[in-house]
Amino acid sequence: MRKIIAILILPLLLFSCENDFLEETPPTGLSADKLTDLASMQGLIYGAYGAIRPFVSQPALYAAGMMRDVLNRNRGEYDPFYDHEISTSMTSWMYTSGYTALASLNKVAVSDLVSMEGSQEQKNAILGDMHFLRALIYFELNNYWNLPLTGYTIPLVLAPVGTDDRLETATTLAVQDQIEFDIESARSYFLVNSGESNYMAATALSARIYFYHEKYDSSYARANEVIESGLFSLGSSVTDAFVPKGNSSENIFTIKFNTIDGSGLSPSARIWEVYQASLLEGNYSLNLDGSAASMIMDPYDDRFNSFYSANEDSTMIYVSGKYTTDQMDYRYIRLAEMYLTRAEANIMKSDAVVQQDVDDINLLRIRGGNPASNLAYIPTVNNALTELYDDRTKELAFELGDHFLNTKRLKREIIQTADEGGGTKSYMEYSELLVFPFPEIEVDIHGLTRIR
């Protein structure tokens, strides 16, 4: 069965970096000479899991804004997303927490676990978690910081960094290679022993990674493995996976809310705050002119009726149903995504549509409460991919930044604002805009640039 991440964030695990997010100092309150046993290694892993709590929620906010899937109605600190740009003040939090977690993980990576006292099972679990989290973090960072035309992205840091060290951005291909190495290493270690996460979580994440790396053979194999394992099942209702405590057989990898968390560390607090159904307190509402809305607003589908709500005069649609409290577990991977990924990866790798692909699409449509929308035939490749693009947006919107990533992967057009003249903007026009900026302090210290 799935293993839900439940980490107690103890005071000694809290970390604040005032200067350089890439510095060597481990976020455990322990000096480097004390990090010599498995207990300290496990402490570093706990610290890394704690650091990703705010990290994983950022794409659900900022990617939706840059894509104009949402409108910012009453929060001045959120950029108006003019010309699809975004300021460093908004994305530095994601960058900082990501590299804070990497500081812990890289200390584990270079430590001599072999000579430490303890069982091989303990060591396998620690190494599995280290590789799993490092793959997850670099995957997310690369998705939002890579510059397509130049081929450069974030710094690739695999060992502790000293205060006098200076780093450069790596190529996107180099980061992707490392992500794939880490996730396969995690699967190997977890196959023997689970850690805070487990083999199936790593396998599901690898399906997502290979999907966005456009390695569809591998993506299909991993998604199929998760589905065929029989360890997970779709709930009878679209809302089953989104109850606050997340105890659903659909959830494969969930980051659990803990009462020790402050609101800033909760994996769901910021998203709930932004998306709640309140004109005065919420910040984002569905952009009715956006491309996502055209797919989401289906009155016959429970995924619209259950997760979105209108204000009194129906002039505004709140994006509130997936985040109902600020004390909510964060769903990072669930089974519905695996069905969509398996179907599309299979079509992309074979350039053909088979009955299994149709069945995967129909399964989620039936669960959505509208069997009349079922495909009663095997469509052409182009038609099937169009159906999957719509269904993927409908199913996964505002969870992971999936619509943002999927639009970029397929190089689809996006909308322009009235200020830009309306209409659409091509991939070549927006590909350099839909990129997160580096924190100013990192540019000052390391001179980071993605233009060579």
* 299-320: pLDDT as tens digits: 999 999 999 999 888 889 999 9
Distances (CA, A) of 66 to 91, 94, 144, 412: 12, 15, 11, 15
- For residue 171, the enclosing domain spans 18-197+411-446
Q: What is the mean pLDDT of the chain?
A: 86
In a domain, 79, yes or no: yes
pLDDT at position 138: 98
pLDDT digits (tens, 9 = 90+) for 150-178: 999 999 999 998 878 889 999 999 999 99
CA dihedral 112, 114, 115, 118 (to 10 degrees): 120
**DSSP per-residue string spanning 370-430:** -GGG---S---HHHHHHHHHHHHHHHHTTTSSHHHHHHHHTT--EE--GGGTSSEE-HHHH
What distance in Å separates the CA atoms of residue 110 and residue 158, rounded to the nearest whole number?
8
pLDDT surpasses 90 at 127: yes
Count of domains for the chain:
1
Distances (CA, A) of 288 to 17, 167, 315: 40, 43, 9
In a domain, 84, yes or no: yes
pLDDT surpasses 80 at 81: no
In a domain, 425, yes or no: yes
| DSSP label at residue 181 | H
b/e for 16-50, b at 16 or more Cβ within 10 A?
ebeebbbbebbbbebeeeebeebebbbbbbbbbbb
pLDDT digits (tens, 9 = 90+) for 368-411: 998 889 999 999 999 999 999 999 999 999 998 899 999 999 99
In a domain, 150, yes or no: yes
In a domain, 390, yes or no: no
In a domain, 5, yes or no: no
pLDDT at position 2: 40
pTM: 0.91
Percentage of residues in the chain having pLDDT higher than 70: 87
In a domain, 4, yes or no: no
User: 286: which strand partners?
Assistant: 70
pLDDT surpasses 90 at 440: no
Distances (CA, A) of 216 to 203, 223, 256: 14, 10, 30
Which CATH number belongs to the domain containing residue 77 in this structure?
1.25.40.890
pLDDT surpasses 80 at 117: yes
Question: Which runs of consecutive H residues, i.e. helices, occur in 78-171?
Answer: 88-110, 120-145
pLDDT at position 405: 92
In a domain, 93, yes or no: yes
Percentage of residues in the chain having pLDDT higher than 90: 56
pLDDT digits (tens, 9 = 90+) for 191-234: 999 999 999 999 999 999 999 999 999 999 999 999 999 999 99
pLDDT at position 362: 97
Q: Which amino acid is present at 174?
A: A
